[in-house]
Structure 1
Amino acid sequence: MTIVIILAVIILDQITKHLAIGLKKGSIKLIDNFLSLVYVENRGAAFGILQGKKIILVFFTFLIILAMCYYLYKSQSSMATISKLSISLIIGGAIGNLIDRVFRHYVIDFISVTFPNGYEFPVFNVADIAVVCGTFLLIIAFMKTDDFEELQ
């Protein structure tokens, strides 16, 4: 199950990023004044931090992916489904953005949300969604399961 989820996230992320390249010609409004698709090249991490620090981002992302894969491999047989799902989503999303950083030297972001008060949330992509959803599920898993007791 975990490998399927990881691969599904990576494939969906890369397909949508490939399609997003077509947005260089112009954005698409999906929900007026709220949701649109735009093309953005993010050369940093979340919210654009660490701009131009590709080597640091690649190195730490790779280490985190390795650590999570190792933990998942060692503990998978005794883990609850929510724990496996959360870690798989995070790994898949991290690999999706890592692929961009290594091969494109930037991450393609394309989902733009503007709130009613005018605040424009930083543009994001499918890999980011997987990492955020995985993180929320991981928090729930920390609270509801014993899967991570040895880490505490």
Structure 2
Amino acid sequence: MPRKYLILLTVALGVIVLDQWTKYLVVRELTTRFDDRPTFGERLAAMYGEPPAPGFTGLHYRPKRHIEVSPNFFRLRYAENPGAAWGLFANLPPTARGLLFHVVSIAAVVLITWYFSRLSGTDPKERWALWGLPLVLGGAIGNYIDRIARAFVIDFLEAHWYDKAAWPSFNVADSAIVVGVGLLMVDAFVRKETPKEQEKSAEARP
């Protein structure tokens, strides 16, 4: 297997596993969802095999506590996001919202995989895309698993400023996507052709 595909599989799977594992820990430690489910199998069934009732509003899993990492700046608190980033499209009807996210998620996976397949894997200038694309892919799949299992994404990382201003809650998958997009932005600048390179390319064409 080419080295670039090993990077793709390792990074993407690593993000997915870390994302789902942290969400499991958050549900176990910060909600009552697993309180009457002592075994690991029962907990997995409760988290992935029991979708919430359609039309339900509010939190599906009841919070029982939160963790103050830095009292004035950062905490771990269970949250649910039925929409996209920053809660976009959360007010759409569940059927329309579900269809939209299925189409967008599948299209994103296909596009990322296609773009990654076009990388040579040997050009040093490609290193930003070589690591950025798998991060975005892993993050997209991590959140898509949530949407398939329960129609909402579990968030728990909450950055704030003395509770006067707060960044929307996020998770490991979101973080991977942000870092991956950042690397792709760097890639766009690094691999941008200079005027001389463009002239050479034009001269080489028949």
Give the aligned residue type for 1:139.
M
Structure 1 segments unaligned to the other structure (5+ residues): 148-152
- Partner SS state of residue 108, structure 1: strand
Q: Is 1:17 aligned with 2:23? A: yes
1:150 aligns to what? none
The structure whose residues are more often helix, as a share, is 1
Once the two structures are TM-superposed, the CA of residue 48 in structure 1 deviates from its matched residue by 0.5
Q: Is 1:58 aligned with 2:105? A: no
Aligned length: 147
Name segments (4+ residues, structure 1) moved above 4 Å. Answer: none
Alignment partners' CA distance in 2, 1:77 and 1:134: 17
Q: TM-score by structure 2 length?
A: 0.67
Alignment partners' CA distance in 1, 2:79 and 2:72: 18
Alignment partners' CA distance in 1, 2:101 and 2:187: 27
Q: Is 1:30 aligned with 2:76? A: no
The structure whose residues are more often strand, as a share, is 1
Write the deviation string for residues 13-57 of structure 1: whole angstroms up to 9, x where unpaired. Answer: 000011111212211100012110011111000000111412201
Alignment partners' CA distance in 2, 1:23 and 1:54: 26
2:9 aligns to what? 3
2:119–2:130 Cα contact (<8 Å) kept: no
1:27–1:37 Cα contact (<8 Å) kept: yes
Alignment partners' CA distance in 2, 1:5 and 1:76: 18
The structure whose RCO (Cα within 8 Å, separation 6+) is larger is: 1
Structure 2 segments unaligned to the other structure (5+ residues): 1-6, 32-63, 194-206
Give the percent of matched residue pairs that are identical in Structure 1 and Structure 2: 33
Q: Is 1:74 aligned with 2:113? A: no
